[in-house]
Amino acid sequence: MASKVLILARDAEAFAEQLRPNFPDVSFLAGAGPQDALGNCGDCDVLMTRNDDCFEAVIRAMPRLKFIQALTTGTELIEAMPGLPSDVLITAARGFHGPQMSELAFLFMLAFARKLPAIIEDRLVRRNLRRSQ
């Protein structure tokens, strides 16, 4: 049986239009919000959504759900939903902020390891001492 995919996002129809020609054996349903999706999602086995567009009511209304593709880097809001079955696979797309967030995390780790705030404070104290002399 071919997969039936619910795309739940503000721009779901645009995603569906791009995917339909590339995957003709897959049915794509588009919903801008949970109200659009609740009536048609019962036989869908895949959900594509953003972390903040996913609603527990939609997940509960999808008894065949096996796979969620997050259209965002993070999945923490989806994973925290109490109604999420334990056998549902969740994957994430790296957003356009991915490299910057990785660099920022690395920068903070280095700053913490090297005690950067203490170094900056020490330099300010030394500069102020030189100015007062």
More confident residue, 68 or 95: 68
Write out the residue range of the structural domain in which residue 19 sits. Answer: 4-92
The confidence score (pLDDT) of residue 95 equals: 64
Are 117 and 86 contained in the same domain?
A: no
Which CATH number belongs to the domain containing residue 15 in this structure? 3.40.50.720
The confidence score (pLDDT) of residue 3 equals: 86
Whole-angstrom distance, CA of residue 34 vs CA of residue 55:
7
The confidence score (pLDDT) of residue 43 equals: 87
Q: What is the pLDDT of residues 100-121, one digit of tens each?
A: 777 888 888 888 888 888 989 9
Are 86 and 107 contained in the same domain?
A: no
Q: What is the pLDDT of residues 24-45, one digit of tens each?
A: 999 999 887 777 777 778 889 9
Are 22 and 84 contained in the same domain?
A: yes
Element (H, E) at 89: strand 89-92
Q: Is 49 exposed, middle or buried (0-12, 13-18, 19+ CB in 10 A)?
A: buried
